[in-house]
Structures are given as C-alpha cells and as structure tokens.
Amino acid sequence: MDDWEKTLSPLTSYQVYEKFNNSSTFPGVCTYCTNMSSFERKYHGITKFCCEMEKNLINLNKILGNIQDRTERCRYFNFWFYYQIWKRFTSTQIITYSGSLINRLTYAWGDINKKLQLNECSYFYHDNISLDKWKEMKDLHDFFKNYNFIETNILTFNDKCQSYKNYIEYNKP
C-alpha cells in the first residue's frame, strides 16, 4: 500500500497508523527489548522497532484516546505491528511463529502487558497465518473503516476520484 500513501493520508485508518508512527511526543524508555540484539544482524533495525512497539503499547490509551472502544484500539495496534514487520523486514514473510522474530517480539509484548499490568491489548497471532495474510486482513479492515469517509468526502477530494476508485478496486474480493 505504500504507493497509496498520498491518496490515503486523509483517510481514517491511515491517520490512526500515523499516530503510532509519530508517537515521539510520548516518553519512552526501552526496557523490554534488550533481548533483540541477537536478531539485529539479520533484521537491521529490529531493536528500534521493538522499542517503538513498547512505547506505543505503553501509551496506547493516550495515542488512540479518541477511539473509545478498547478492542478497536487493540485491533489497530495489532495491524500496525504486523504491517510494520511486513514493511520493514520483508524477509520475515516466511518466518513461522515458533522460535521466530515474531515470537521474540510478541514475547516482549506479553512481558510489557504482564509487568505493567496493562491487559489493555494482547497480540493476535496464529502460526498458520502468513504476514501477507495479515497485510490482506489489515487492508480489508482499513477499507471498511475508510469507506464512509470516502463516500462522504468524495466530492471534496474530486481530484482523487480515480485514486479512490483504484483503492476500492484493490480491496474488492
């Protein structure tokens, strides 16, 4: 979807994910990602990503305070998490859950929840779902979240009609 970023930037779901990507205003100390160094050589930047995940998870209620439904906040966070792995570490697309990079990251996620007693957001993962399928689920989720915005504002963004049509076609079954 990177090709779509200019078109998607005003859309509802895109703005939610941007809050995760731009959460630098929230304080963050990387405490739970110290075990990522062994993956750093193969997945350059994984420790930084893990620290971003930690900061976003700890501050989830502040970052997405405008979304009242806790389940929906968590759903967005899960989709952001898996999409970032897909986008940043494309070689992980075939990694299986057990003993993998994803396992290590979700272990840190679980540790954060447990030690801080957050219980606000658990990770969703099944080892038989590839990262490509996660991306597909995210795209469909986002499409349904964005549909009303597109329908309501299509005349306002008249210059983007063709782009929105292409976006809708992309998400058609």
Place of tokens 């990602």: 33
Spatial distance between the Cα atoms of 44 and 62, rounded to a whole number of angstroms:
29
- Give the number of residues written for the chain: 173
Contact between 92 and 85 under an 8 Å Cβ cutoff? The reply is: yes
Contact between 101 and 95 under an 8 Å Cβ cutoff? The reply is: yes
Q: Among 39, 165, 170, 157, which residue's Cα sits nearest to residue 100?
A: 39
pTM of the model: 0.85
Residue 106 has pLDDT above 80, yes or no: yes
Question: 150: pLDDT confidence band, cut at 50, 70 and 90?
Answer: confident
Express each pLDDT in 43-93 by its tens digit: 888 999 999 999 999 999 899 999 999 999 999 999 999 999 888 886 644
Express each pLDDT in 9-32 by its tens digit: 888 899 999 999 987 766 777 899
Question: 103: pLDDT confidence band, cut at 50, 70 and 90?
Answer: confident
